[in-house]
Amino acid sequence: MSIADRPPGPIETIGAWLLGLLWILPLAYAVWTAFHPSAYATRFDLLAPLTLENFVAAWQAAPFGRYLFNTTVIVTMVLAGQFLVCTLAAYAFARYRFPGQSLLFALVLMQLMVMPDILIVENYRTMFALGLVDTLGAVALPYMASAFGIFLLRQTFMTVPKELEEAAIVEGCSSLGVLWRVYVPLARPVFVAYGLVSVSYHWNNFLWPLIVTNSVETRPLTVGLAVFSSTDQGIDWSIISAATLMTAAPLLVAFLIFQRAFVQSFMRAGIR
Amino acid sequence: MSRLRTSIHASLLLLPAVVLLAAFTHVPAVRTFIGALYTTPRGKRPAVFVGLDNYRQLLDDPVFWQAMANNVWYAALTIPLSVVLALVMALAVDARLPGRAALRMAYFTPTVLPMIAVANIWLFFYTPGYGLLDQVLGLFGLPETNWLGSRDSALYAVIAVAVWKEAGFFMIFYLAALQTIPHDLREAAAIEGASRFTFFRRVTLPLLMPTTLFVLVNAVIGAFRLVDHIVVMTRGGPDNATALLLYYIYEIGFRFWDSAYAATLTTVLLAILAVLAAVQFLFLERRIHYR
């Protein structure tokens, strides 16, 4: 075995593990607090009794069920909108030649830098003018046309061999038929990757929903959690930790189950 | 298919994307520039054109300068720390360590948590006296510290949270790049008698440059875009010690409802991002080794 190839020494192994422990520590601490009575929140005793009462208390203290529903609706709307809008646009950029194409593409790419997250004041005014403030649609709408999605899908569509498209046309497919029957099926892994990245982003999104929602009927989980933990609870860390874990749980559990898919999706979406 | 028909097809395909992008990115950006030249309309008083007055106000606003300084300092610490840690993590997980799957999970998990959850977890972690941090430091006889309540430590406390959240995310990209480095290079280096460090410095690091650029661009955008943790942990305090630019925009826009001044601040943020984009395309892209 060569020098450059030998397995890492004990120092590197220990270092990597210490870093790993340090990294998981804050989360482990929150888990400990959430599953033990408040008396043990800061006292470490391996024999401390486990309890789910903090979760029950949190669930009853705020409408987390409704928040969960809102988040699910928002994430679904964003994803459906992005898939539709970005697929159509990416197809046009990948397979059509028309005047002003490169200028238009540059304008699309601008959104990679100037995201709707930054233009909060103007976007709020737009929503106000449209009468959409405090609706689920207002949370989702600014994100539906995503430069990132258009770019990613365009790159993928460009790798599809022309011969396949020509064969489909000979078979009598229309333009949209070609897109639906040839391009979309071939790009499936990219759709999965983009979908996972998008869902994790919008499940966790906070600032824009905080601004544009102001009632229980529209608030997503993140904003609901912030409202819950910032006010009048008379800081009971056990209950707040339970609420925090509840908010993160759906995505966290999905991540633990589909770890490989998640990691590969983030990799695939990042390499461009 | 005639050229006209192609153009019509293409426009129809692009229509939804163009309308939405224009409505929520381009038009608001232009309206921000224009809005910065007017006063904020209040009640029956309409907006009045004031030219560059808002920018004069900005130059005289100590909170703006504080927020800028905070943001630069925040970026200058968060970015190198999280990028270097990401590289270290990727190298560790890429090597044949015992339990590397568990390690990868430990590094990556903070990335899937909402920033709000992260902020809550760390808020508790930092609680003076009985948070875990003070408890551990207490074992060494150190006194209680109000990490988020003191002007001296609050920004660093917030930076630690950002690094914790982001390093694992960037690790993924390094990991992907490391796995594409061909094995022959290692063998060749070994035959030449290169040490592991030389191999890393002369082969691995240059090959990782495109990834580093990608990660850096994302990290810089993140440093100016993500303020969720500020909203929950400090609200910009104490005494504006943790106010970042976007957080200040949020405060001016939605707590003081001064839309003209918020537009002025947003213009500054847009200018910073434009400079970044220019640097990325003109300068960095050329110095990167693409095999």
- Give tens-digit pLDDT for A127-153: 999 999 999 999 999 999 999 899 989
Residue A215 pLDDT greater than 50, yes or no = yes
Of B133 and B230, the structure prediction assigns the larger pLDDT to B230
Q: What is the pLDDT of residue A172?
A: 82
Confidence of residue A44 (pLDDT cuts 50, 70, 90): low
Of B115, B120, B253, the CB nearest to A120: B253
Q: Decide if pLDDT at A41 tops 80.
A: no
Determine the residue of chain A that is closest to B193 in CA distance: A3
Question: Would you state the pLDDT for residue B85?
Answer: 93
CB contact under 8 A, A15 and B115: no
pLDDT at position A4 is 43
> What confidence tens digit (pLDDT) does each residue in A223-268 have?
998 888 776 556 677 888 888 888 888 888 888 888 777 777 777 6
Residue B120 and residue A244: Cβ atoms within 8 Å? yes
Interface test with A, best of B3, B15, B20, B261 (most A CBs within 10 A): B20
**CB distance A92–B14 less than 8 Å?**
yes
The mean pLDDT of chain A is: 85
Those of residues 26-65 in B touching chain A at CB distance below 8 A are: 26-29, 31-32, 35
Asked whether the beta carbons of A116 and B24 are under 8 A apart, the reply is yes
Q: Which amino acid is at B60?
A: D
Question: Under CATH, what is the fold of the domain B62-287?
Answer: MetI-like fold (1.10.3720)
Per-residue pLDDT at A7 exceeds 90: no
Cis amide prior to B238 (ω within 30 degrees)? yes
pLDDT at position B260 over 70: yes
Domain boundaries, chain A: 10-51, 63-270
Instruction: Please tell me the total number of residues recorded for chain B in this structure.
Output: 291
Please check the confidence at residue B64 and state whether its pLDDT lies above 90: yes
Q: Do B6 and A226 touch (CB under 8 A)?
A: no
Give the residue extent of every domain in chain B.
62-287
CB contact B157 to A (< 8 Å): no
CATH topology of domain A63-270: MetI-like fold (1.10.3720)
pLDDT tens per residue, range B207-229 = 888 888 888 888 888 899 888 88
User: Does B290 have pLDDT greater than 50?
Assistant: no
**Which pLDDT score, from 0 to 100, does residue A233 have?**
54
Mutate to test the interface with B, among A91, A114, A199, A235 (most CBs of B within 10 A): A114
Q: Which of residues 202-221 of B touch A (CB under 8 A)?
A: 214, 221
Q: What is the pLDDT of residue B1?
A: 56
* Short-list B253, B244, B252, CA closest to B224: B244
d(CA A63, CA A217): 9
Which chain A residues are within 8 Å of B194, Cβ to Cβ? 3-4
Residue B156 near chain A (CB below 8 Å): no
Give the span between the Cα atoms of B264 and B276, in whole angstroms: 19
Q: Are A33 and B136 in contact (CB under 8 A)?
A: no
Q: With 50 as the cut, is the pLDDT of residue B118 above it?
A: yes
Predicted local confidence at residue A2, as pLDDT:
42
Q: Is A239 on the interface with B (CB under 8 A)?
A: no
Please report, rounded to a whole number, the percentage of residues in chain A having pLDDT higher than 70: 91
Judged by a CB distance cut-off of 8 A, whether residue A123 touches chain B is: yes
Using the Cβ of A225 and the Cβ atoms of chain B, whether some distance falls under 8 Å is answered with yes
Per-residue pLDDT, A162 = 85
Q: What average pLDDT does this structure show over B64-88? A: 93
SS3 letters across chain A: CCCCCCCCCHHHHHHHHHHHHHHHHHHHHHHHHHCCCHHHCCCCCCCCCCCCHHHHHHHHHCCHHHHHHHHHHHHHHHHHHHHHHHHHHHHHHHHCCCCCHHHHHHHHHHHHHCCCCCCHHHHHHHHHHCCCCCCHHHHHHHHCCCHHHHHHHHHHHHCCCHHHHHHHHHCCCCHHHHHHHHHHHHCHHHHHHHHHHHHHHHHHCCHHHHHHCCCCCCCCHHHHHHHHHHCCCCCCHHHHHHHHHHHHHHHHHHHHHCHHHHHHHHHHHHCC
Q: Which of A110, A107, A105, A111 is nearest to A90 (CA)?
A: A105
